[in-house]
Amino acid sequence: MIRIENGFVVDPSQGVEGDFDLLIEAGRIKALDRPGSFAGLTVSESFDARGKVIVPGLIDVHVHLREPGFEHKETVASGSRAAILGGFTSIAPMANTSPVNDHPLITEAILHKARAAGQARVFPIGAVTKGQKGVELAEIGLMARAGIRAISDDGMPVMNSALMRRAMEYARMFDLPVISHAEDSNLSGGAPMTEGAVSSLLGVSGNPNASEEIMVAREIALCRLTGARVHIAHLSTREGLEIVKRAKEAGLPVTAEVTPHHLLLDEGSWLTGRHSCAHHQVRADYKMAPPLRSEQDREALLHALNSGLIDMVASDHAPHGCVDKETEIEIAANGILGLQTTVPLLLGLVNAKRMKLSRMVESLATAPAKLLGLQGLGTLKIGSHADLAVLDLNESWTLMPGDLVSKSGNTPFAGRTFQGKVLRTMVEGEWK
Amino acid sequence: MFPERFNAIRGLDPGVLCSLLARSSRMKSDPGSFSTILKGKTVLQFFVENSTRTRLSFESATRRLGGMSLAFSPSSSSLSKGETLADTVNVIRQYGVDGIVVRHRSMGAPDFLADATGLPVINAGDGAHEHPTQALLDAFTLGECWGVDFSKAGAFRNRKIMILGDLRHSRVARSNIHLLTALGAELHLCAPATLGIPDLGLFPRVHVHSFPDEGIPEMDAVMTLRLQTERQNQGVIPSLPEYREFWGLTVERAKRMKTDSVILHPGPVNRGVEIDSEVADSGRSLILKQVENGIFARMAVLASVVGRMDS
């Protein structure tokens, strides 16, 4: 039996925010009560969390673990370890591995690797279409039986609306949410930057906000048609937000996520970023899909996250090697690391009073658990799994490249000083 | 001291730009005095994208300054994952060169090379971003034609210049917007909407036209840009004849220009598309003058960046 004493517990799933002691037994939350309530009990371990914040184990609904196929970038083991160090006890890897997670055997292999690693829990996301090619449905039912919790073709958006309609109808029978990387790829042209003042100045082709707006609108139209649960990944534009708002007002089963980098960075970063690995930053570390948008978009996203219009934060942890990033902007890979930086970045917003701590926890635990249908996770209710993270809101520290346990180092946040840190993470009653 | 890289006009102090223009002028009037500036130095002409003219111009400029030129032009001009820029940097280091002139189809490649090698770098065109020596030679040519004194601020004040054509994909246009406005010119941009610059918010203030006809009679100079003929296949213009009809510098349009106004074109020219042959070869055309002056402008840049010549 473990006792966690004197911590400030924040658990929006049960409206808890205050000083509480926790009792953990056999991997479950046994009790939660006023400080000192369990003083007389004999425990195997007593953890003094005075001055610290205890939150439910965080859940990242959007990561890339690269295994199988790209083990030089990340593995299930290295990625799930990065999750633990970032306060995440559950992660949902996207299906763009090689081979693609479009078959129950791949799902089983990922789950097997995750169990062997013994770090964060892994809940794979299956592909919508075979090979993420946008032609035939993947074996969604068999994958559901094997353990997937959602379907998505992520960065290979299903452009064929008829096929996406069938995918939604099909997924609904298995109560799987359909996650959409909302990008009209004809309109975006795979451009590395958002279309705007900065891409114009630099002469780089631009991906207009409209490419997201169009696909968010389509997904919502199909949601209305099919009744499937639709989740919009990494929302990045004001226009996309407006459509999600209308869908929610109409009572449709739509949710949305935002990444920390779209909350904290905008297209202006391209003008200040460095160019080569000689420094520890590469300019292409600002390349991601969707691209960093305008300052107005960034502000609107934060506002929408605080108001609840955006339901959750997801890291879109996307490891890439130097060789994938330290190259021409047009061919550099999309995405940055996120598992170890998401919580520190959001704690920065909390410390700056731009976000409430309870809203942060809701967006990283309560809402993700609901999306993926994870019973007894993302909560500290009595009887639930003893997954939790201990945070220090005051500690100031600098992220050094050596702190990253990912197999890749692609983050524009290396060298940044944060106020707020993840101290410890527990999964099923065990410190990891 | 002059910066160790000349990769963009944007961000350079107008004083630096004017001293480069004045130096270009001295290179032309007294070439003998500068023939040893690059003595014992080797300049790598690193052209990942084909450009015979610009490369010859830089090679010629290097030799006239007494330097040696090494050409490295990878056969494939297409972006590929085969050799990364980082690999290229390591290869370049082995040549023992004193400076790099780089033409690359990707924005930012010159800065990348400069950061990674620590060598002096001159941008000979990166993607659709900048082509700063082209802008320099254009301004030098105009200044020479107008008899202006570059040592005075606002050398092009009260001059109206139009840049006409495919602005979106043009590094020549971007460098010229920054340079010509820094010199005080009133700049007019004209392009079909499909080839315009989407957002001018971070550029200096300019006038924008969809069609050239309204502005052309007032211009002191019109710079027309090369139209990549593949744009038709990309669905941005319906046909080359339609382009010529609305945006070409035709004989009829040239007739409506002021009598003393001049025409520039960065070359190579698509005769009968963006400019009629009669206009390109007419007395108001500075096209061949641009080619000639390109050598002196590049000598000025090489002397400053690689030769570390004092101002």
Q: What is the CA radius of gyration of chain A?
A: 21
Contacts of residue A358, Cβ cutoff 8 Å, sequence gap at least 6? A10, A12, A17
Q: Are residues A38 and A127 in the same domain?
A: no
A187 touches chain B (CB under 8 A): no
Q: Are residues A192 and A151 in the same domain?
A: yes
- DSSP for A145-188 reads HHT--EE--TTS----HHHHHHHHHHHHHTTPPEEE----HHHH
In this predicted structure, what is the pLDDT of residue A37?
94
Q: Are residues A15 and A152 in the same domain?
A: no
A210 touches chain B (CB under 8 A): no
B98 touches chain A (CB under 8 A): no
pLDDT digits over A115-153, tens only? 999 999 999 999 999 999 999 999 999 999 999 999 999
Q: What is the CA radius of gyration of chain B?
A: 19
Phi, psi (deg, nearest 5) at residue A404: -80, 125
The answer to whether position A390 is within a domain reads no
The answer to whether position A73 is within a domain reads yes
Model pTM greater than 0.90?
yes
Q: Are residues A173 and A28 in the same domain?
A: no
Q: How far is A276 from chain B (nearest CA, A)?
A: 6
The answer to whether position A381 is within a domain reads no
Six token digits for residue A362 = 């809701």
In this predicted structure, what is the pLDDT of residue A95?
98
Q: How far is A399 from chain B (nearest CA, A)?
A: 23
pLDDT digits over A382-391, tens only? 999 999 999 9
Q: Are residues A309 and A350 in the same domain?
A: yes
In this predicted structure, what is the pLDDT of residue A279?
44
Q: Are residues A329 and A298 in the same domain?
A: yes
Domains observed in chain B: 5-130+293-305 (3.40.50.1370), 132-291 (3.40.50.1370)
Cβ of A321: how many Cβ atoms within 10 Å? 17
The answer to whether position A425 is within a domain reads no
In this predicted structure, what is the pLDDT of residue A180?
98
Q: Are residues A20 and A156 in the same domain?
A: no
pLDDT digits over A38-72, tens only? 999 999 999 999 999 999 999 999 999 999 999 99
In this predicted structure, what is the pLDDT of residue B78?
44
Decide if pLDDT at A377 tops 50. yes
List the CATH number of the domain containing A82.
3.20.20.140
The chain B residue lying nearest A332, using CA atoms, is B81
Six token digits for residue A56 = 């439910």
In this predicted structure, what is the pLDDT of residue B95?
82
Q: Which is nearest to B223 in space by CA: B270, B161, B278, B169?
A: B161
A186 touches chain B (CB under 8 A): no
Nearest beta carbon to residue A275 from set B112, B129, B171: B112
Which amino acid, residue B300? Answer: A
Q: What residue numbers bound the domain in which A14 lies?
A: 2-48
Q: How far is A339 from chain B (nearest CA, A)?
A: 27
Residue B290: C-alpha distances to residues A77, A324, B17, B276, B297 (Å):
61, 40, 18, 18, 10
Q: Are residues A180 and A323 in the same domain?
A: yes
Residue A316: C-alpha distances to residues A49, A336, A361, B96, B263 (Å):
30, 8, 17, 43, 52
Q: Are residues A31 and A89 in the same domain?
A: no
User: Do B116 and A275 lie within an 8 Å CB cutoff?
Assistant: yes
User: What parts of chain B have a pLDDT lower than 50?
Assistant: 77-79
pLDDT digits over A157-172, tens only? 999 999 999 999 999 9
The chain B residue lying nearest A325, using CA atoms, is B84
List the CATH number of the domain containing A16.
2.30.40.10
Q: How many domains does chain A have?
A: 2
B49 touches chain A (CB under 8 A): no
The chain A residue lying nearest B106, using CA atoms, is A328
User: Do A326 and B109 lie within an 8 Å CB cutoff?
Assistant: no
Q: Are residues A69 and A179 in the same domain?
A: yes
Which amino acid, residue B51? Answer: S
Cα A313 to Cα A60: distance, rounded to the nearest angstrom: 8
B4 touches chain A (CB under 8 A): no
Q: Are residues A243 and A166 in the same domain?
A: yes
Contacts of B110 in chain A (CB under 8 A): none
Q: Give catalytic residues of B, as residue numbers.
A: 53-54, 81, 103, 131
Q: Are residues A124 and A201 in the same domain?
A: yes
The answer to whether position A20 is within a domain reads yes
Decide if pLDDT at A88 tops 90. yes
Cα B14 to Cα A115: distance, rounded to the nearest angstrom: 63
Residue A26: C-alpha distances to residues A37, A50, A334, B53 (Å):
20, 24, 42, 76
Q: How far is A327 from chain B (nearest CA, A)?
A: 5
In this predicted structure, what is the pLDDT of residue A141?
98
Burial of B94 (0-12, 13-18, 19+ CB in 10 A): exposed
Cα B118 to Cα B121: distance, rounded to the nearest angstrom: 9
The chain A residue lying nearest B112, using CA atoms, is A275
Decide if pLDDT at A182 tops 70. yes
B234 touches chain A (CB under 8 A): no
